[in-house]
Structure 1
Amino acid sequence: MYRLGIDVGGTNTDAVLIDEALNVIAEIKHPTTNDIYDGILGAIESILEISKIDPKKIHLAMLGTTQCTNAIVERKNLEPIGLLRIGAPATLGVPPLVDWAEDISKVAISSEVIGGGFEYDGKELAAFDTDHATRFFKNLKGKVNSIAISCAFSSIRDEHEKEAARLCKEIMGDDVQISISSEIGSMGLIERENATVLNASLYKVAQKFTTGFSKSLAEHGITEAKVYISQNDGTLMTMAYAQKYPILTIACGPTNSIRGASYLGHLKEAIVIDVGGTTTDIGVIQGGFPRESGVAVTIGGVRTNFRMPDVLSIGLGGGSIVRQKSDGTISIGPDSVGYEITQKALVFGGDTLTTTDIAVKLGMCAIGNPELLNAIDIAFAQRAMSEIQKMIENGIDSMKLSNEDADVILVGGGSIIVPKNLSGTKSVLKPNYFGTANAIGSAISKISGTFEKLIDYEKCPRDTAIESAKKEAIQMAVLSGAIESSVEIIDVEDVPLAYYPGNTNRVKIKAAGDLKI
């Protein structure tokens, strides 16, 4: 029995095959194409060709993809939606999509703010305005297939959102796609609402990549595999879950790399530096999983507050262009030759000086034809490498929570440009299979369940509340497809909320376990 892991990056589509003992038996890198399915098909074909295994022996297939991120950033393939906010009169001062750029705000063809919602302590602001909601949904019937619903303080009470969703189905039909904010974001109406709108607009993108991946597998005889999609907390979700919550695939690439680095480096606490062809992503492993961001995250110019990994991206990659300025200083990137590196880099016979050329010139790696670099002055190459090192070291310092030296794991095909002596580190490890850590992270990932709720410890003692929340999280992981005996609690968080009545805390528990075969 084998696992197939695929991760689609901006430069390469990586694929790995892993056996029952989680040993890597084959890995490949295939250029990412404009139509990513050509790249996925090519990756599957190549991995089967070099491994010589029977496709029917692949029982698990995992995909990490950047399509949702690309759709938002490029403003392409986003589905028109309707937005209903429940929160009048209290939230009328800040209209929906108030800070969105015009080119993406057009995704909402209609938005309304109606009566309803709750106070911070759970008291009702106003009764749910059923008549207004009914008119809104009737006006949109036949015009859109996706609806976003938000409500003031729905993270405390979600009754009005659920009532609106029920009414929407009743009026617009069972086929309408509904995203409700209490299931997507956390505290903060505007950021939670923004995330919900993005999720609603991505449903066709999600349908395309989930069905497309299944079709790609079937075309190569992989018909016995359960299919999963990588999500951005370093775990997996089912196809149906990915279609309902496509926004959770955003930033799954860096999290796959972090999970893969943790597995390959046998470290559960470290900084991971994932260098691709265009950018470097720096993240942190905590307990074997990616550290989660604690601040609002901007995606394609839209401010959101849904779950995201804490990752720093810098414009440095294996294809980054190296230039000497008129004042003699050297600049690195942020522009890159990307997937065209094998045609444009000097070491491959091209005419563009890249960071990979610098690494080859300094003897850090052996690829291409080093003789093509004879014209590069060694002193210039050393100065360029000093700039590269400075960019990496600054990134490491930015991700640290203390001034102590940290273990660092280098992964990604572009990590050949990173020197092994980095200040602020106690060890720098580049494990075997470092180039396909993202695909490995996808293939070895577990399935998870997360329970989150606001609990007043005066009404329910802390120990009792935490224990009950752990059981809920474990049960959610099992329902998602985890083997119950393998499920473990991987994160426990309870945060006091000073502005709430009593001793209210936000309790969040995450559990993860091995996949059922």
Structure 2
Amino acid sequence: MHIGIDVGGTNTDAVLVRGRTVLASCKATTTADVTGGIVAAISGLRHAFEPRQVTAVMIGTTHFVNAVVEGRDLARTAAVRLGLPATTALPPFVDWPDRLRQAIGGHAYLCHGGHEYDGRVISPLREDELEAVAEDLAAKNVESVAISSVFSLVSNEFERQAAEVLTARVPGLLVSFSHEIGRLGLLERENATIINAALRVLAGQIADGLADSLRAQGVDAPLYLSQNDGTLMDLDHARRHPVATFASGPTNSMRGGAFLAGADDCAVIDVGGTTTDIGVLHRGFPREASSEVLISGVRTNFRMPDVLSVGIGGGSVIRDDGGTVRIGPDSVGFRLADEALVFGGDTLTATDVAVAAGLADIGDRARTRHLGRAFVQAALDQIQHRVDHRLDRTRTSPEPMPVVLVGGGSALVQRLEGASKIVRPEHHAFAGAIGAAIAQVGGEVDRVFTMAPGTRDEVLDGARQEAVDRAVAAGARAGSVRIVEVEEIPLAYLPGNASRVRARAVGDLLPGH
């Protein structure tokens, strides 16, 4: 048995799954500390299992992205870039919002090092420079450091050597490597690594807290966190790479919805309590964003699902502005059960409109009788239009595509112009938790290769095998691993037949890993 948990802005959902069968489900209110909601959700499943029956627990959490957005609980962080005499024009943190930079300290250092695209050294690493940096880090009580080197995706040698020098002189210093976090593009890769470094202390605290919460429920099964590519990572990996959890919630909902509907290629619309997330799946996995991703105003380039969000959900506040209906973007969020009209509150929400229209049967419908039919229909039409508009932006062809509706607020969407068919599967309200429970283990290779004449097939086969090996090393059962994506992008602006090659493999979780 697996337990899957999805932490949303309004609700924390938990499901108990055996194979492809959902045995039990529970919806609890998300708490301010998040962990409390997780404990309550697991408690709601306790009638359906004995602790020894659970072989794995998978959690999709918003802990880390919330910390960045709110600028709280972040470690004192420094950025060390290896690239002198190049890269001086745009130093680390050059494009960061002042608020976020100040929240983490924002110390930046430029040192010699780095490589060209073909592996040639820009300048040798200078240990004396790094020793001086280490002394300054210690003096400023820096807890975590992000090390980035020019073209570290070609060679990570200097990043590793720099870490050895720094950690030898600053015991306990946490290190994040850019070649493990981001992709091509120095500034964006560096930014992603800095964000990861700033979350390292919090990641350790949360990992310990989640493990303690499970033990308090008598569950001693391995704990995994969901990544934003639809795969899993264990707690040790999560402590080192917390940014990999960003957008894992929408990813889980998309994969869970496709799983419930039995579809591999479709669009999934997840209508939650706060937002509606729309994404497209290919071969059962979310389409990835092809451009840079903004995280709290910072440009990054680590993998993220291509998801469009709109501020519409079951908790969205609805106002009558002189005869004009206004929906959101503010939401009562996890206070829905206290503030919505149908639950005895005094705030008109999208849930109240759904109940008034007969689309949902929850709470006290009598408290919505004063809402006029025209007003209710106008609100539903506006929701329909805004969701339809976002769905149209995800399309890559004019052909209608199948759409899977999931989420507790999915009753708000009844028709879609761009859909060939609409499926609202059983257990649709728990799609995020189910997506977490069925998640697989992945391995990925993404770097620049120089292809000599006649070696292309050999290079691609090597990348595929490396992706498979990484999946197995991460805990996948060897016989279940398959390649789900291979992408080759020739870099025409570079000489020497250079190409960026990206290969992804996934496999089922090895029991007991």
Q: TM-score range by the shorter chain?
A: over 0.9
Matched, 1:482 2:476: yes
Residue 138 (structure 1) aligns with: 135
Stretch moving more, 76-85 or 162-171? 162-171
For 1:81-480, list aligned pairs within 5 A. Answer: 81-106=77-102, 107-141=104-138, 143-173=141-171, 175-223=172-220, 225-326=221-322, 328-419=323-414, 421-459=415-453, 461-480=455-474
- Residues in 2 aligned to 1:435 and 1:209: alpha-carbon distance in whole angstroms: 26
State percent identity of aligned pairs: 44
Matched, 1:29 2:27: yes
Residue 499 (structure 2) aligns with: 505
Alpha-carbon distance, 1:7 to partner: 1.3
User: In the TM superposition, what whole-angstrom CA distance separates every residue of 1:32-51 from its partner, at most 9, and x where no partner exists?
Assistant: 111211111111111113x2
- Residues in 2 aligned to 1:18 and 1:354: alpha-carbon distance in whole angstroms: 32
- Residues in 1 aligned to 2:307 and 2:50: alpha-carbon distance in whole angstroms: 38
Alpha-carbon distance, 1:452 to partner: 2.0
Is the contact between residue 154 and residue 449 of structure 2 (CA under 8 Å) also seen in structure 1? no
Alpha-carbon distance, 1:63 to partner: 1.0
TM-score (norm 1): 0.96
- Residues in 2 aligned to 1:208 and 1:26: alpha-carbon distance in whole angstroms: 29
Is the contact between residue 183 and residue 447 of structure 2 (CA under 8 Å) also seen in structure 1? no
Is the contact between residue 3 and residue 18 of structure 1 (CA under 8 Å) also seen in structure 2? yes
Alpha-carbon distance, 1:460 to partner: 5.7
- Residues in 2 aligned to 1:373 and 1:230: alpha-carbon distance in whole angstroms: 39
User: In the TM superposition, what whole-angstrom CA distance separates every residue of 1:166-206 from its partner, at most 9, and x where no partner exists?
Assistant: 21222223x32111111111111111111010001101221
- Residues in 1 aligned to 2:456 and 2:254: alpha-carbon distance in whole angstroms: 32
Alpha-carbon distance, 1:61 to partner: 0.8
**How many residues get paired?**
509
- Residues in 2 aligned to 1:422 and 1:115: alpha-carbon distance in whole angstroms: 56
Instruction: Give the unaligned 5+ runs of structure 2.
Output: none
- Residues in 2 aligned to 1:331 and 1:296: alpha-carbon distance in whole angstroms: 31
- Residues in 2 aligned to 1:346 and 1:177: alpha-carbon distance in whole angstroms: 49
Is the contact between residue 119 and residue 155 of structure 2 (CA under 8 Å) also seen in structure 1? yes
Task: Give 3-state SS (helix, strand or coil) of 1:141's partner.
Answer: helix
Stretch moving more, 115-124 or 350-359? 115-124
TM-score (norm 2): 0.97
- Residues in 2 aligned to 1:194 and 1:378: alpha-carbon distance in whole angstroms: 50
Amino acid at match of 1:498: A
Residue 7 (structure 1) aligns with: 6
Alpha-carbon distance, 1:459 to partner: 4.8
Task: Give 3-state SS (helix, strand or coil) of 1:196's partner.
Answer: helix
Instruction: Give the unaligned 5+ runs of structure 1.
Output: none
Is the contact between residue 67 and residue 205 of structure 1 (CA under 8 Å) also seen in structure 2? no
Is the contact between residue 117 and residue 124 of structure 1 (CA under 8 Å) also seen in structure 2? yes
- Residues in 2 aligned to 1:383 and 1:459: alpha-carbon distance in whole angstroms: 63
Alpha-carbon distance, 1:31 to partner: 0.2
Amino acid at match of 1:414: G
User: In the TM superposition, what whole-angstrom CA distance separates every residue of 1:309-337 from its partner, at most 9, and x where no partner exists?
Assistant: 111111000111112223x3221110111
Alpha-carbon distance, 1:109 to partner: 4.7
Alpha-carbon distance, 1:117 to partner: 1.7
Is the contact between residue 149 and residue 178 of structure 1 (CA under 8 Å) also seen in structure 2? yes
Alpha-carbon distance, 1:355 to partner: 1.2
Alpha-carbon distance, 1:14 to partner: 0.6
- Residues in 2 aligned to 1:47 and 1:206: alpha-carbon distance in whole angstroms: 26
Task: Give 3-state SS (helix, strand or coil) of 2:360's partner.
Answer: coil
Task: Give 3-state SS (helix, strand or coil) of 2:312's partner.
Answer: coil
Give the alignment's Cα RMSD to 1 decimal.
1.3
User: In the TM superposition, what whole-angstrom CA distance separates every residue of 1:46-100 from its partner, at most 9, and x where no partner exists?
Assistant: 1113x2x211111111111001100100001000012111112211111210111
Amino acid at match of 1:115: H
Residues 199 and 460 of structure 1, relative CA distance in 2, 3 Å threshold: farther
- Residues in 1 aligned to 2:404 and 2:90: alpha-carbon distance in whole angstroms: 44
- Residues in 2 aligned to 1:374 and 1:147: alpha-carbon distance in whole angstroms: 58
